[in-house]
Structure 1
Amino acid sequence: MALSVQQRGKVFLVLTVCLLVVGVCVPFSGHDLQRVMQVAIGFCAVLYGLSVAPSERLVDRPTALGLALIIALGLLSSVLAHQPLWAFTEMAVFISCGAIAVAFALLRRHGGEALDRTLILVVTGLCLIKSIQYLHAGGLAFTSGASTLDPDSLLSGFSNKRFYGQFQTFTLPLLALPLLIPNVSRAWRGAVFALLCVWWLIAISGGTRGTWLGMVVAGVVLAALGPSGRRWLGWQLAAVVGGVLLYGAVFTVLAGYLGVEIASAASDRLTTSLSGRGPIWWQAWHMLVERPWLGFGPMHFADIANKTAAHPHQAILQWTSEWGVPSALCVAVLAWRGGWATVAEVRERMLSTKRADLLRLCLLAALIAALVQSMVDGVIVMPNSQVWLALVVGWLMALHVWRTPAPTALPLAWGVWKALTVVSVGLLVFIVVRDLPQINQAQQQYLSTHDNLLQPRFWAQGVIAR
């Protein structure tokens, strides 16, 4: 018996939530497991997309043409790249993220407003699990009798604390939604606010400046959009104060009382240093100047070995150096059009207290914060961040209100898109099956000859230079 559209959506949602929990919450999770998680979610998204045909277009004609041009330029750049297979793999990641965004958009359109509540419950549940893990690790650390404590050691589930910070950049804005809805009970609002304070405590102790910067810019933008945005900012500022007080109580008062010295305090991160990004930004700039039209090929920053990273920690430099300036301009124009359309909707509905309108506000804040952080960090590279970026974009697509009657979907264009997603996910599955059995051995060989340092890109050891 064939499943209905709603039943298929529920299956996709359950599988995605389970994969997110595994990728984020298991203590032994890291970059490679999260990459496998991303490929698995992409596989589920493609299956769901094959079984559900949209009755109306998800994007307008200029956006569709822009995406087609980006993909065409990427294919040409990949063919001319030094290592075409890795270039096509990066393209497959890009298309699979598009498939995940489309799947979430279709899921929300068919599931309605009930899915908004589910999304926030998932976000709240993930943040609660990570907060409990953090507090449990802190309790063990303070009762262990150790004379020093590094707050970074309390973070789990990510290969690097910056990747943890990227996850918080997406979830901090969304976690404030229950505080904005007027008919939420006082007990539930108090519990969510306490969780938001703890979540800010973790963001402060983690010291990811990109998260701080992204949230500041998102707050400024939302405050300028109207009263709902200022309410969102007010709750975030209150939670920041709560997080700072918790940080002081735990890492200053309690640590001093127990005689524990705190290493790598949050105040040590209040600097304007580039943390070693200067050389890799220059490398990306020189690549851009040498090949401005098509770049060196997707993922090919990692084909030029350096001692710092396999990506430049700057989204614009990464895209221009690898995909070329024309492709980067297309991406920038599409991002601006989509962002401006969302801003216009938020401004029109700034007085609305409907859950969907308030969720759109929080999703916009998450998108702004993530894009700002991508200017100094690898938000568009890390697998978990790519999934959350696709989720945010897909949900915003579903919530978009067309100003004119929504155009009907084109069967030919939808068929081409489905074929692209199938090929892309198939390539990613092939790469995973090929590399995963010997990935630990390959990493150990790399560590033994490269200063015991992994440089993540597709895998945790992401350098593809031969």
Structure 2
Amino acid sequence: MSLSEPQRGNVFLVAVVCLLVVGICAPFSGHDLQRGMQIAVGVCAVLYGLSVPRMERLLDRPTVVGLVLIVGLGLVSSVLAHQPLWAFAEVALFVSGGAVAVAFALLRRRGGEPLDRYLIMLVVLLCLIKSIQYVYAGTLAFISAEHTLDPDLLLSGFSNKRFYGQFQTFTLPLLALPLLIPTLSRSLRAAVFALLCVWWLIAIGGGTRGTWLGMGAAALVVALLGPWGRRWLGWQLAAVIVGLLLYWLVFTALADYLGIQVLNGASDRLTTSLSGRGPIWGQAWHMLVERPWLGFGPMHFADIANRTAAHPHQSILQWASEWGVPSALCVAVLAWRGGWATFGLLRERTLCSEPADLLRMCLFAALVGALVQSMVDGVIVMPNSQVWLALVVGWLMALHLWKTPETAELPLAWGAWKTLSVLAVGLLVFIAVRDVPHIQQAQQQYLDSHANLLQPRFWAQGVIAR
């Protein structure tokens, strides 16, 4: 018996929620499991997209042309790359992310405002589980007989605390949405605010400066969006102040009282150092200068071994050095057009208090924060961040209000997109089936010969240079 379209949407939603909960909240989670989660989400998105008979208007024609150019240039660059299969895998990740964004947009268009509530419930659930894990780990650390405490060890589910910080950059803006809804009861409002304060405590304790930078930029932009934007900013500032107070009470006052020395405190991160980014930024720049038109090939920063990372921690340099300057310009133009269109819509509806308008503002804040953080961090590289980036973009696409009349259907374009997305996720599944059975052995071999340091890119051991 075949499922109806709403039932297929529900199956897709439940599958994605389960994958996200396992990929983010499982104690054994990490980069490789999250990459597997991302591929599984991509498969679900493609299957859902294939079940949709008619493509609704999600993009305008210039955006479609820009995306075609980006994918086309990426394919040509991949053919000329040193390791074409890995280059094609990076293009496949880009296409898979697009399929996830389209699937979320179609799901929201068909499900309407109830889907917005499900999204916020998902964010609250994930943040609540991670907060409970953090508080539980902190309680065990304080009641143990140890005389030192490293707050970094309280973070679980991510291979690196910066990846945890990227997830917080996406969720901190969204977690404030319930506080803006006038009909929310006082008790629920207090509970959500308490969760937001703890979430900020974790962000402060984690010490990810990219998260602080991204949220600061998002706050400046949202403050320009009228009274509701300033109200959002007020709740965030209140939560930051409470989070700072909690951090001082727990990691300074209580730790001193119990005679526990705190290592890697948040104050130690208040520096302007590049934390080793200088050399990898330099490597990306030299790659860009050497091959400006098509780059070295997608993912091919990881094909030139260095002692720091398999990606340059800077999205513009990464894209330009790997895909080429023309492709990077296309990405930048599309990002600017989409962001400016959303900003203009938010300014037009600045006094609207409809839940969809408030959600659009929070999603835009999350997108701004993530894009700013990508200037100093690997937001466009890490699997969980790629999934959330696709989710935010897809939801914004669904909520966008078009000023021009809808154009005619383009069945050939929709068919070509379906074919491309199937090929993309097929390649990703092939790589996962090929690598996963031997992944631990390959990682251990790399650790034994490279100073016990993994450099994540596609997998946790992401260096593809041979």
Ranges in structure 1 where 5+ consecutive residues have no aligned partner: none
- AA at the equivalent of 1:11: V
- AA at the equivalent of 2:53: A
Aligned to 1:349: 349
Map Cα deviations across residues 20-73 of structure 1 (whole Å, 9 max, x no partner): 001000011000000000000000000000001345321000000000000000
Does the 8 A contact of 2:218 with 2:366 survive in 1? yes
Aligned to 1:267: 267
Q: Distance in 1 between matches of 2:403 and 2:2?
A: 36
Aligned to 2:45: 45
**TM value normalised by structure 2:** 0.99
Map Cα deviations across residues 364-403 of structure 1 (whole Å, 9 max, x no partner): 0000000000000000000000000000000000000000
1:409 is displaced (CA, Å) by 3.0
SS in 1 for 2:138: helix
Aligned to 1:253: 253
Q: Distance in 2 between matches of 1:53 and 1:368?
A: 33
Does the 8 A contact of 1:214 with 1:370 survive in 2? yes
Aligned to 1:139: 139
Does the 8 A contact of 1:57 with 1:408 survive in 2? no
Aligned to 1:302: 302
Q: Is 1:75 the counterpart of 2:75 in the alignment?
A: yes
SS in 2 for 1:168: helix
1:136 is displaced (CA, Å) by 0.1
- AA at the equivalent of 2:184: V
Map Cα deviations across residues 409-432 of structure 1 (whole Å, 9 max, x no partner): 310000000000000000000000
1:286 is displaced (CA, Å) by 0.1
Q: Distance in 1 between matches of 2:286 and 2:129?
A: 44
- AA at the equivalent of 1:70: I
1:350 is displaced (CA, Å) by 1.3
Q: Distance in 1 between matches of 2:5 and 2:196?
A: 35
- AA at the equivalent of 2:203: A
Aligned to 1:413: 413
Which structure 1 residue ranges, 4+ long, deviate > 3 Å from structure 2? none
- Matches of residues 1-400 of structure 1 in structure 2 within 5 Å? 1-400=1-400
Does the 8 A contact of 1:56 with 1:407 survive in 2? no
Q: Distance in 2 between matches of 1:150 and 1:409?
A: 57
Does the 8 A contact of 1:66 with 1:330 survive in 2? yes
Q: Distance in 2 between matches of 1:224 and 1:21?
A: 34
Aligned to 1:456: 456
CA RMSD in angstroms comes to 0.6
Map Cα deviations across residues 231-289 of structure 1 (whole Å, 9 max, x no partner): 11100000000100110110011111111110011001000000000000000000000
Q: Which moved more, 1:222-231 or 1:23-32?
A: 222-231
Q: Distance in 1 between matches of 2:144 and 2:357?
A: 47
Q: Distance in 1 between matches of 2:103 and 2:76?
A: 27
**TM value normalised by structure 1:** 0.99
Q: Distance in 1 between matches of 2:186 and 2:398?
A: 30
Q: Distance in 2 between matches of 1:404 and 1:296?
A: 40
Q: Which moved more, 1:295-304 or 1:405-414?
A: 405-414
Q: Distance in 2 between matches of 1:361 and 1:406?
A: 24
Map Cα deviations across residues 129-184 of structure 1 (whole Å, 9 max, x no partner): 00000000000000011100000000000000000000000000000000011111
Does the 8 A contact of 1:151 with 1:205 survive in 2? yes
**Paired residues, what number?**
466
Does the 8 A contact of 1:55 with 1:408 survive in 2? no
Q: Distance in 1 between matches of 2:120 and 2:162?
A: 23
SS in 2 for 1:224: coil
Q: Distance in 1 between matches of 2:20 and 2:56?
A: 29
Q: Distance in 2 between matches of 1:404 and 1:323?
A: 33
SS in 1 for 2:224: helix
- AA at the equivalent of 1:394: G
Q: Distance in 1 between matches of 2:237 and 2:23?
A: 29
Does the 8 A contact of 2:55 with 2:414 survive in 1? no
Q: Distance in 2 between matches of 1:30 and 1:391?
A: 20
